[in-house]
Amino acid sequence: MERVESGGRKSVTIGRRYSIYEEEVTMARKIKLSTVVASDDEQLSEQAMISTFEKMTTPVHLKRKTQLKCRITINTYRCNMDNKVWDHPKEWRPERFLTRIMTTRISTMAFERGKRVCAAALQAMPISCMAIGRFRQEFE
């Protein structure tokens, strides 16, 4: 990570990820304020989502004495049901992975779900958390 001065405060940019410890601590503090839930349910009710977040969210106080909460849900069901990526995504057709055409297209499922798990699924969640921490840092 590289330090970039913007408006008198330090912000984090994509770059040398291994070098600066205090930005990692800042990001960890920002990510603690946000709750990330990966859900593969087709319909997740608002009440169930709220009760899940109330159990998972712990109050964290910063220098301002205000408690910040942010609810973020990554709906993996919707990620894997995109009509732009998949032809007829609601139909179970395993032969779609066996054609030669699929070798040039994205043929895996996002966020460790489904029969064809994405090879970068283990990397997707930390990248999502870093992006959320960055958004929190910029929009506070």
Q: Following DSSP, what letter does each residue of 95-137 receive, concatenated?
A: GGGTSSGGGTS--SBSTT-SSSB-TTHHHHHHHHHHHHHHHHH
* Longest Cα separation, the chain: 58
C-beta of residue 93 within 8 angstroms of C-beta of residue 58: no
Determine if residue 79 is labeled as part of a ligand binding site. no
Question: Around Cβ 21, how many Cβ atoms within 10 Å?
Answer: 9
Show binding-site residues: 118
Show binding-site residues for heme: 118
